Structure 1
C-alpha cells in the first residue's frame, strides 16, 4: 500500500532536488530524495511512495529510462513522472512504454509537476496543437533519437549524425541551458 502524501524525488542535481523537495513539503507532502538509481532502490526497501519524480539523466552515465522498469516492478501502483531538461518525443514515448505515467520537460513549476503526477489532463491551446515543429525542434528530436539508439554514447551518435563530437556536445549543452 502506498503512502498517499509521500513522494520520492530521484535527481542528481542537488539544488533542484532540494528546492523541489522543499516546495512539495510546503504543500503537505513528505518528500524523500535520491541522487541515483541505487539510492532510489535502497530507499524503496523501507518506503512505499504515492509518487516518484525521476530525472531522465542521472549522473554522467545513468539513464532514468533504464530505472523506470525497476521502479515499476518494486512499486506497481506508484505514480511515476519522468521530468527532464532533455525532452523529446522519442524519450517521452520510451518513458511511457517502460512504465512512466507522465512525462514533463524542465523547467516546470511545482503546481505543474503535481498536476502531471496526479494525472490531471492539461489540454494544450488549439493553436499549440496545430503548430508545425520548427527546424530546430526537428533537429533536436533527431539528435535525441540517434542518441537513444546509440545508448547515450555521444561519440557514436556524432558519427551517426555526421558531425564532430564537440559540435554535438555544444548542441546538447546549448539546448539544455536554453541559449
Structure 2
C-alpha cells in the first residue's frame, strides 16, 4: 500500500499500550491520522466518531475478543479495511477473521511496513512459500485447541469438556504463547 496522499484515518485497537504507542508514532510519520482504542467499547465509540478508513485489531483484547468485535466494527464503518494482529495466531482464528471481513491477518510482532503491506494486499499470494517441514506435534495440539475453542464460541468450560481436559489445565495452556512451527 502506498503512503496516503490525503490523511487516511487509522484506528489501532489493542490493549498493549506500548505496541499502540510505537505503531501510532510510526503511522503518523507516514502521514496517517491515528486514533487508539484499548477495548471494544472504546473502539466502537471512536469508529462512530472518527469513521476510520483503516483499522488494526488485536485478536485477544484483555476483556474482549477481536473476532467478536470485527463484525460490529464493520457494521459501524463498512468501508473500513481491517487487519487482525495477534501474538496468538492459529489457522482457525485466521480463517474466521477473513470470513468475518478482515482483509488480512498478521502475527505479532509486526512493524508498520508489514501492516501497510497487509492493508495493500487485495487477494491471495500464490508465491507464498510452503513450509519445508510439517508443524510440530505441539503446534498441531495448539491449533486443535484453538479450533475447538472457536467451535465453542470462546467458552473455556465447553472447550475443556470437548477436549476431555480440566478447565484450569486448558486455561494454563491458553495463557502460554503459541508454539512455534
TM (norm. structure 1) is 0.85
Partner residue, 1:57: 60
Partner residue, 2:100: 98
Indicate which of 122, 133, 136 corresponds to 2:135.
133
Select the structure that is richer in strand.
Answer: 1
Asked if structure 1 preserves the Cα contact closer than 8 Å seen for 2:11 and 2:35, the reply is yes
> What are structure 1's unaligned runs of at least 5 residues?
none
CA RMSD of aligned residues (A): 2.2
- Taking a change above 3 Å as real, the CA distance of residues 164 and 94 of structure 1, as seen in their structure-2 partners, is same
Give the whole-Å Cα distance in 2 for the aligned partners of 1:44 and 1:50. 10
How many residues in Structure 1 have an aligned counterpart in Structure 2? 173
Post-superposition offset of 1:43? 0.9
TM (norm. structure 2) is 0.84
Indicate which of 16, 35, 38 corresponds to 1:13.
16
In the TM superposition, what whole-angstrom CA distance separates every residue of 1:60-103 from its partner, at most 9, and x where no partner exists?
A: 3x111111112112222221111111111111111111111111
> What are structure 2's unaligned runs of at least 5 residues?
1-5
- Taking a change above 3 Å as real, the CA distance of residues 138 and 176 of structure 1, as seen in their structure-2 partners, is closer
Give the whole-Å Cα distance in 2 for the aligned partners of 1:104 and 1:29. 20
